[in-house]
Amino acid sequence: MSRIPLCRALIEDEELQAVEAVLKSGWLTHGPKNIEFENLFASYLGVKHAIAMNSCTSALFLAVVANNIKGDVLLPSFTFVASANAIVTAGARPVFADISYDDCNIDASLLEKALTPHTEALMVVHYAGQCCDMRAISEFARKHKLLLIEDSAETIGGTYEGKMSGNWGIGCFSFFPTKNITTGEGGMFTTNDDTLAEHVRALIGHGIKKTTAERVSEGKAWYREASYPGYNFRLSNILATLGVEQMKKLDNMNSLRRQHSAYLIDKLKDVSEISTPVEKPGRQHVYQMFTIKVRKPGSRDGLVRYLKEREIEASVHFDPPVHLHAAYKDVCKAVLPVTETVSSSIVTLPMFPQLTKKELDTIACAIKDYFSAG
Protein backbone atom coordinates (compact mmCIF):
# COMPACT_ATOMS: atom_id res chain seq x y z
CA MET A 1 0.00 0.00 0.00
CA SER A 2 1.45 3.37 -1.00
CA ARG A 3 1.53 6.31 1.38
CA ILE A 4 -1.81 8.06 1.98
CA PRO A 5 -1.17 11.82 2.08
CA LEU A 6 -2.98 14.17 4.43
CA CYS A 7 -4.36 16.00 1.42
CA ARG A 8 -4.04 16.05 -2.36
CA ALA A 9 -5.32 18.92 -4.49
CA LEU A 10 -7.54 17.84 -7.38
CA ILE A 11 -5.74 19.36 -10.37
CA GLU A 12 -6.81 17.93 -13.73
CA ASP A 13 -6.51 18.67 -17.45
CA GLU A 14 -8.97 21.56 -17.24
CA GLU A 15 -6.70 23.47 -14.85
CA LEU A 16 -3.56 22.69 -16.86
CA GLN A 17 -5.11 23.81 -20.15
CA ALA A 18 -6.59 26.98 -18.64
CA VAL A 19 -3.28 28.01 -17.07
CA GLU A 20 -1.44 27.31 -20.33
CA ALA A 21 -3.88 29.58 -22.17
CA VAL A 22 -3.29 32.43 -19.71
CA LEU A 23 0.48 32.01 -19.91
CA LYS A 24 0.29 32.23 -23.70
CA SER A 25 -1.97 35.30 -23.48
CA GLY A 26 0.78 37.31 -21.83
CA TRP A 27 -1.59 38.75 -19.21
CA LEU A 28 -0.07 37.28 -16.06
CA THR A 29 -0.87 39.72 -13.26
CA HIS A 30 -4.32 40.85 -11.99
CA GLY A 31 -6.61 40.61 -15.02
CA PRO A 32 -9.75 39.20 -16.67
CA LYS A 33 -9.64 35.85 -14.86
CA ASN A 34 -9.72 37.66 -11.50
CA ILE A 35 -13.05 39.21 -12.46
CA GLU A 36 -14.42 35.87 -13.66
CA PHE A 37 -13.30 34.12 -10.48
CA GLU A 38 -14.77 36.85 -8.27
CA ASN A 39 -18.10 36.77 -10.10
CA LEU A 40 -18.35 32.98 -9.79
CA PHE A 41 -17.52 33.13 -6.09
CA ALA A 42 -19.95 35.97 -5.31
CA SER A 43 -22.75 34.21 -7.17
CA TYR A 44 -22.05 30.93 -5.39
CA LEU A 45 -22.18 32.55 -1.93
CA GLY A 46 -25.04 34.90 -2.75
CA VAL A 47 -23.06 38.03 -1.85
CA LYS A 48 -22.70 41.32 -3.73
CA HIS A 49 -18.91 41.48 -3.74
CA ALA A 50 -16.05 38.96 -3.81
CA ILE A 51 -12.51 40.33 -4.01
CA ALA A 52 -9.68 37.94 -4.85
CA MET A 53 -6.34 38.50 -3.14
CA ASN A 54 -3.09 36.76 -2.27
CA SER A 55 -4.19 35.07 0.98
CA CYS A 56 -6.90 34.66 3.58
CA THR A 57 -4.56 36.39 6.04
CA SER A 58 -4.64 39.50 3.85
CA ALA A 59 -8.44 39.33 3.78
CA LEU A 60 -8.61 39.08 7.59
CA PHE A 61 -6.11 41.94 7.93
CA LEU A 62 -8.11 44.17 5.60
CA ALA A 63 -11.37 43.34 7.37
CA VAL A 64 -9.84 44.95 10.46
CA VAL A 65 -7.92 47.78 8.75
CA ALA A 66 -10.63 48.90 6.34
CA ASN A 67 -13.11 49.18 9.22
CA ASN A 68 -10.61 51.09 11.40
CA ILE A 69 -10.83 48.57 14.23
CA LYS A 70 -8.31 49.54 16.92
CA GLY A 71 -9.82 47.99 20.06
CA ASP A 72 -10.42 44.37 21.08
CA VAL A 73 -11.45 41.58 18.71
CA LEU A 74 -12.99 38.40 20.13
CA LEU A 75 -11.91 35.15 18.49
CA PRO A 76 -11.17 31.51 19.37
CA SER A 77 -7.65 30.47 20.33
CA PHE A 78 -8.27 27.12 18.62
CA THR A 79 -7.26 28.29 15.16
CA PHE A 80 -4.22 28.80 12.98
CA VAL A 81 -2.09 31.67 14.24
CA ALA A 82 -2.88 33.72 11.10
CA SER A 83 -6.27 34.67 12.57
CA ALA A 84 -4.67 36.42 15.54
CA ASN A 85 -1.72 37.70 13.52
CA ALA A 86 -4.08 39.58 11.20
CA ILE A 87 -5.65 41.34 14.19
CA VAL A 88 -2.35 42.33 15.80
CA THR A 89 -0.65 43.48 12.60
CA ALA A 90 -3.73 45.59 11.82
CA GLY A 91 -3.28 47.41 15.12
CA ALA A 92 -6.02 45.77 17.19
CA ARG A 93 -5.90 43.37 20.17
CA PRO A 94 -7.05 39.73 20.19
CA VAL A 95 -9.19 38.50 23.08
CA PHE A 96 -9.62 34.73 23.11
CA ALA A 97 -12.84 32.87 23.89
CA ASP A 98 -13.35 29.16 24.52
CA ILE A 99 -14.87 26.63 22.12
CA SER A 100 -17.49 23.88 22.20
CA TYR A 101 -16.08 20.37 22.54
CA ASP A 102 -18.29 18.69 19.94
CA ASP A 103 -17.74 20.95 16.90
CA CYS A 104 -14.54 22.79 18.02
CA ASN A 105 -16.14 26.14 17.12
CA ILE A 106 -16.31 29.22 19.29
CA ASP A 107 -18.92 28.76 22.05
CA ALA A 108 -21.60 31.41 21.53
CA SER A 109 -22.78 31.02 25.13
CA LEU A 110 -19.39 32.24 26.41
CA LEU A 111 -19.06 35.36 24.28
CA GLU A 112 -20.76 37.62 26.81
CA LYS A 113 -18.18 36.58 29.39
CA ALA A 114 -15.30 37.34 27.00
CA LEU A 115 -16.64 40.81 26.11
CA THR A 116 -14.52 43.77 27.26
CA PRO A 117 -15.28 47.52 27.39
CA HIS A 118 -13.03 47.89 24.34
CA THR A 119 -14.50 45.13 22.15
CA GLU A 120 -15.16 46.37 18.61
CA ALA A 121 -15.32 43.19 16.54
CA LEU A 122 -15.93 39.45 16.64
CA MET A 123 -13.94 37.09 14.40
CA VAL A 124 -15.40 33.61 14.22
CA VAL A 125 -13.41 30.72 12.75
CA HIS A 126 -15.49 28.01 11.09
CA TYR A 127 -13.49 24.92 12.03
CA ALA A 128 -12.64 22.10 9.61
CA GLY A 129 -15.63 22.69 7.32
CA GLN A 130 -18.51 23.32 9.75
CA CYS A 131 -20.09 26.70 10.44
CA CYS A 132 -20.33 28.17 13.91
CA ASP A 133 -23.69 28.83 15.59
CA MET A 134 -24.26 31.84 13.35
CA ARG A 135 -27.80 32.64 14.47
CA ALA A 136 -26.72 33.20 18.07
CA ILE A 137 -23.45 34.81 17.04
CA SER A 138 -25.13 37.26 14.65
CA GLU A 139 -27.60 38.28 17.35
CA PHE A 140 -24.74 38.79 19.82
CA ALA A 141 -22.83 40.94 17.31
CA ARG A 142 -25.90 43.08 16.60
CA LYS A 143 -26.70 43.47 20.30
CA HIS A 144 -23.23 44.78 21.07
CA LYS A 145 -22.72 46.63 17.75
CA LEU A 146 -19.70 44.53 16.84
CA LEU A 147 -18.22 44.11 13.38
CA LEU A 148 -18.65 40.43 12.42
CA ILE A 149 -15.74 38.82 10.56
CA GLU A 150 -15.89 35.20 9.36
CA ASP A 151 -12.61 33.33 9.01
CA SER A 152 -14.00 30.84 6.50
CA ALA A 153 -10.61 29.52 5.39
CA GLU A 154 -11.73 25.95 6.12
CA THR A 155 -15.40 26.14 5.17
CA ILE A 156 -15.89 26.97 1.49
CA GLY A 157 -19.43 25.80 0.73
CA GLY A 158 -20.41 25.08 4.32
CA THR A 159 -23.84 26.33 5.35
CA TYR A 160 -25.81 27.27 8.45
CA GLU A 161 -29.61 27.17 8.03
CA GLY A 162 -29.02 27.13 4.27
CA LYS A 163 -26.91 30.29 4.29
CA MET A 164 -23.29 30.06 3.16
CA SER A 165 -20.35 30.83 5.40
CA GLY A 166 -18.98 34.23 4.43
CA ASN A 167 -22.49 35.64 3.95
CA TRP A 168 -23.20 36.46 7.61
CA GLY A 169 -20.50 39.07 8.04
CA ILE A 170 -17.29 39.86 6.19
CA GLY A 171 -16.12 36.56 4.68
CA CYS A 172 -12.43 35.66 4.46
CA PHE A 173 -11.46 32.54 2.50
CA SER A 174 -8.27 30.59 1.79
CA PHE A 175 -7.26 28.74 -1.37
CA PHE A 176 -4.21 26.99 0.09
CA PRO A 177 -3.71 23.47 -1.39
CA THR A 178 -5.35 21.80 1.64
CA LYS A 179 -8.61 23.74 1.23
CA ASN A 180 -11.83 22.76 -0.55
CA ILE A 181 -10.65 24.58 -3.68
CA THR A 182 -7.13 25.79 -4.36
CA THR A 183 -5.20 28.39 -6.32
CA GLY A 184 -1.92 27.33 -4.69
CA GLU A 185 -1.81 30.52 -2.65
CA GLY A 186 -4.75 32.90 -2.57
CA GLY A 187 -7.73 34.26 -0.69
CA MET A 188 -11.09 35.97 -1.08
CA PHE A 189 -12.82 38.82 0.76
CA THR A 190 -16.64 38.87 0.60
CA THR A 191 -19.08 41.59 1.62
CA ASN A 192 -22.47 43.10 0.81
CA ASP A 193 -21.21 46.62 1.61
CA ASP A 194 -20.55 48.62 -1.58
CA THR A 195 -18.38 51.26 0.10
CA LEU A 196 -16.26 48.69 1.93
CA ALA A 197 -15.78 46.68 -1.28
CA GLU A 198 -14.55 49.75 -3.17
CA HIS A 199 -12.14 50.59 -0.34
CA VAL A 200 -10.72 47.04 -0.15
CA ARG A 201 -10.33 46.78 -3.92
CA ALA A 202 -8.14 49.86 -3.82
CA LEU A 203 -6.18 48.72 -0.76
CA ILE A 204 -5.05 45.46 -2.39
CA GLY A 205 -3.50 47.43 -5.27
CA HIS A 206 -1.45 50.15 -3.54
CA GLY A 207 -4.52 52.30 -2.83
CA ILE A 208 -5.18 52.83 -6.54
CA LYS A 209 -8.91 52.60 -7.28
CA LYS A 210 -8.69 51.73 -10.98
CA THR A 211 -7.21 48.40 -12.04
CA THR A 212 -4.74 48.02 -14.89
CA ALA A 213 -7.50 46.62 -17.11
CA GLU A 214 -9.72 49.63 -16.40
CA ARG A 215 -6.91 52.09 -17.11
CA VAL A 216 -6.05 50.28 -20.34
CA SER A 217 -9.67 50.50 -21.50
CA GLU A 218 -9.63 54.25 -20.83
CA GLY A 219 -6.45 54.72 -22.86
CA LYS A 220 -4.39 55.94 -19.89
CA ALA A 221 -2.72 52.81 -18.51
CA TRP A 222 0.10 54.87 -17.01
CA TYR A 223 -2.15 57.07 -14.82
CA ARG A 224 -1.96 55.47 -11.36
CA GLU A 225 -3.27 57.77 -8.68
CA ALA A 226 -3.43 56.42 -5.10
CA SER A 227 -6.52 57.46 -3.14
CA TYR A 228 -4.92 56.27 0.10
CA PRO A 229 -1.85 54.28 1.21
CA GLY A 230 -2.36 50.65 0.26
CA TYR A 231 -0.69 47.27 -0.14
CA ASN A 232 0.20 44.77 -2.82
CA PHE A 233 -2.22 41.97 -1.94
CA ARG A 234 -3.26 41.16 -5.51
CA LEU A 235 -3.86 37.67 -6.90
CA SER A 236 -2.32 36.97 -10.29
CA ASN A 237 -4.36 36.23 -13.40
CA ILE A 238 -2.61 32.82 -13.48
CA LEU A 239 -3.80 31.78 -10.03
CA ALA A 240 -7.27 33.24 -10.60
CA THR A 241 -7.51 30.91 -13.61
CA LEU A 242 -7.05 27.94 -11.27
CA GLY A 243 -9.83 29.37 -9.09
CA VAL A 244 -12.24 29.57 -12.04
CA GLU A 245 -11.73 25.91 -12.90
CA GLN A 246 -11.87 24.81 -9.25
CA MET A 247 -15.18 26.61 -8.69
CA LYS A 248 -16.75 24.48 -11.42
CA LYS A 249 -15.90 21.37 -9.36
CA LEU A 250 -16.54 22.67 -5.84
CA ASP A 251 -19.94 21.10 -5.21
CA ASN A 252 -18.79 17.71 -6.49
CA MET A 253 -15.57 17.84 -4.46
CA ASN A 254 -17.50 18.79 -1.32
CA SER A 255 -19.98 15.98 -1.97
CA LEU A 256 -17.10 13.49 -2.17
CA ARG A 257 -15.63 14.84 1.08
CA ARG A 258 -19.00 14.32 2.76
CA GLN A 259 -19.32 10.79 1.39
CA HIS A 260 -15.82 9.82 2.52
CA SER A 261 -16.43 11.32 5.96
CA ALA A 262 -19.73 9.49 6.41
CA TYR A 263 -17.97 6.24 5.46
CA LEU A 264 -15.15 6.81 7.97
CA ILE A 265 -17.57 7.77 10.73
CA ASP A 266 -19.46 4.52 10.18
CA LYS A 267 -16.26 2.44 10.08
CA LEU A 268 -15.03 4.00 13.34
CA LYS A 269 -18.33 4.06 15.25
CA ASP A 270 -17.38 1.12 17.47
CA VAL A 271 -13.95 2.45 18.45
CA SER A 272 -14.76 3.60 21.98
CA GLU A 273 -11.36 5.24 22.49
CA ILE A 274 -12.16 8.06 20.05
CA SER A 275 -14.94 10.46 19.13
CA THR A 276 -15.68 11.23 15.48
CA PRO A 277 -16.95 14.49 13.93
CA VAL A 278 -20.47 15.65 14.74
CA GLU A 279 -22.53 17.55 12.18
CA LYS A 280 -24.70 19.92 14.18
CA PRO A 281 -28.41 20.41 13.28
CA GLY A 282 -29.05 22.96 10.56
CA ARG A 283 -25.48 22.83 9.23
CA GLN A 284 -23.82 21.27 6.22
CA HIS A 285 -20.28 20.18 7.03
CA VAL A 286 -17.89 20.21 4.05
CA TYR A 287 -15.02 18.40 5.83
CA GLN A 288 -12.01 20.44 4.80
CA MET A 289 -10.46 18.32 7.53
CA PHE A 290 -11.61 15.06 9.09
CA THR A 291 -10.69 15.14 12.77
CA ILE A 292 -11.12 12.67 15.61
CA LYS A 293 -10.47 13.14 19.32
CA VAL A 294 -8.65 10.58 21.45
CA ARG A 295 -10.44 10.17 24.78
CA LYS A 296 -7.52 8.96 26.90
CA PRO A 297 -5.30 11.85 28.01
CA GLY A 298 -1.75 11.66 26.70
CA SER A 299 -2.36 8.99 24.05
CA ARG A 300 -2.89 11.25 21.03
CA ASP A 301 0.75 11.61 19.99
CA GLY A 302 1.26 7.87 19.99
CA LEU A 303 -1.63 7.41 17.56
CA VAL A 304 -0.24 10.05 15.19
CA ARG A 305 3.19 8.40 15.20
CA TYR A 306 1.65 4.95 14.65
CA LEU A 307 -0.37 6.14 11.66
CA LYS A 308 2.73 7.68 10.11
CA GLU A 309 4.55 4.38 10.57
CA ARG A 310 1.70 2.77 8.64
CA GLU A 311 2.23 5.29 5.79
CA ILE A 312 -0.85 7.34 6.75
CA GLU A 313 -0.11 11.06 6.97
CA ALA A 314 -2.01 12.12 10.09
CA SER A 315 -1.47 15.53 11.67
CA VAL A 316 -2.85 17.84 14.39
CA HIS A 317 -4.86 21.05 13.99
CA PHE A 318 -4.22 22.90 16.27
CA ASP A 319 -1.59 22.30 18.94
CA PRO A 320 -0.62 24.53 20.63
CA PRO A 321 -3.66 26.82 20.58
CA VAL A 322 -2.80 30.45 19.89
CA HIS A 323 -3.04 31.68 23.49
CA LEU A 324 -0.16 29.33 24.38
CA HIS A 325 2.15 30.54 21.59
CA ALA A 326 5.16 32.49 22.81
CA ALA A 327 4.01 35.51 20.80
CA TYR A 328 0.60 35.60 22.52
CA LYS A 329 1.11 34.38 26.08
CA ASP A 330 1.20 37.93 27.40
CA VAL A 331 -1.23 39.48 24.92
CA CYS A 332 -4.41 38.02 26.36
CA LYS A 333 -4.45 36.08 29.63
CA ALA A 334 -7.20 33.59 28.86
CA VAL A 335 -8.51 30.56 30.74
CA LEU A 336 -9.67 28.15 28.04
CA PRO A 337 -10.13 24.63 29.42
CA VAL A 338 -12.07 23.17 26.47
CA THR A 339 -9.62 24.61 23.95
CA GLU A 340 -6.69 23.02 25.77
CA THR A 341 -8.48 19.67 26.10
CA VAL A 342 -9.32 19.57 22.40
CA SER A 343 -5.86 20.75 21.37
CA SER A 344 -4.21 17.90 23.25
CA SER A 345 -6.57 15.20 21.98
CA ILE A 346 -7.39 16.02 18.35
CA VAL A 347 -6.02 14.18 15.30
CA THR A 348 -6.43 15.18 11.66
CA LEU A 349 -6.82 12.25 9.26
CA PRO A 350 -6.39 12.31 5.45
CA MET A 351 -9.34 13.88 3.65
CA PHE A 352 -9.58 14.85 -0.02
CA PRO A 353 -11.96 14.06 -2.89
CA GLN A 354 -9.79 11.40 -4.59
CA LEU A 355 -9.60 9.08 -1.57
CA THR A 356 -10.52 5.51 -2.47
CA LYS A 357 -12.56 3.00 -0.46
CA LYS A 358 -9.38 0.95 -0.03
CA GLU A 359 -7.56 3.95 1.43
CA LEU A 360 -10.45 4.76 3.76
CA ASP A 361 -10.51 1.13 4.93
CA THR A 362 -6.75 1.27 5.51
CA ILE A 363 -7.12 4.37 7.69
CA ALA A 364 -9.95 2.87 9.74
CA CYS A 365 -8.16 -0.48 10.18
CA ALA A 366 -4.95 1.22 11.34
CA ILE A 367 -6.84 3.14 14.03
CA LYS A 368 -8.58 -0.02 15.21
CA ASP A 369 -5.27 -1.91 15.25
CA TYR A 370 -3.61 0.78 17.33
CA PHE A 371 -6.19 0.65 20.07
CA SER A 372 -6.62 -3.13 20.04
CA ALA A 373 -2.86 -3.50 20.49
CA GLY A 374 -2.72 -1.00 23.35
pLDDT digits (tens, 9 = 90+) for 5-34: 999 999 999 999 999 999 999 999 999 999
CB 116 within 8 A of CB 332: no
Q: Do 336 and 107 form a contact (C-beta atoms < 8 A)?
A: no
Query: Which CATH number does the domain housing residue 259 bear?
Result: 3.90.1150.10
Could you list the beta-strand ranges (E) of 126-186: 147-151, 159-160, 163-164, 170-174
What does the pLDDT read at residue 200?
98
Please tell me whether residues 257 and 231 are part of one structural domain.
no
**What pLDDT, on the 0 to 100 scale, is given for residue 1?**
58
329 and 211 part of one domain:
no
Phi, psi of 346 (to 5 degrees): -85, 145
pLDDT at 102: 97
Same domain as 142, residue 18: yes
**Does 294 lie in the same domain as 240?**
no
- Where is the domain boundary, 214, 249, 284? 249
Residue 166: give its domain's CATH number.
Answer: 3.40.640.10
Q: What pTM did the predictor assign?
A: 0.97
305 and 227 in a common domain? no
All residues at 6 or more sequence positions from 41 whose CB lies less than 8 Å from its CB, including other chains? 50, 52, 173, 188, 190, 243, 247
Q: In terms of Cα–Cα distance, which of 119, 172, 109, 169 is closest to 144? A: 119
| pLDDT score of 334 | 86
- Do 17 and 120 belong to one domain? yes
Is 3 inside any structural domain?
no
Give domain status of residue 240, yes or no: yes
Helix (H) or strand (E) holding 252: helix 250-267
Q: Of 249, 278, 293, which residue constitutes the final position of a domain?
A: 249
Distance CA 362, CA 368 (A): 10
Residue 1 domain-assigned? no
Q: How many independent structural domains does the chain possess?
A: 2
- In whole angstroms, what is the distance from residue 201 CA to residue 237 CA? 15
Three state DSSP letters for 277-341 = CCCCCCEECCCCCEEEEECCCCCHHHHHHHHHHCCECCECCCCCCHHHCCCCCCCCCCCCHHHHH
Is 196 a domain residue?
yes
Residues 343, 217 share a domain: no
Examine the fold and report which residue of 249, 275, 304 is the final residue of a domain before the chain moves on: 249
Residue 80: predicted pLDDT: 98
What is the residue range of 304's domain? 251-373
- Do 74 and 154 lie in a common domain? yes
Count CB neighbours of 40 within 10 A. 17
> Are both 368 and 276 inside the same structural domain?
yes
Q: What is the DSSP letter of 181?
A: S
Count of residues for the chain?
A: 374
Structural domain includes residue 18:
yes
Asked if residue 255 and residue 245 are part of one domain, the reply reads no
Residues of the chain with pLDDT below 70 are 1, 374
Give yes or no: residues 178 and 44 share one domain.
Answer: yes
Catalogue the E-assigned strands of 23-118. 49-53, 72-76, 93-97
Query: Is 290 found in the same domain as 164?
Result: no
Instruction: Give residue-wise pLDDT tens across range 138-155.
Output: 999 999 999 999 999 999
Instruction: Assess if residue 7 is contained within a domain.
Output: no
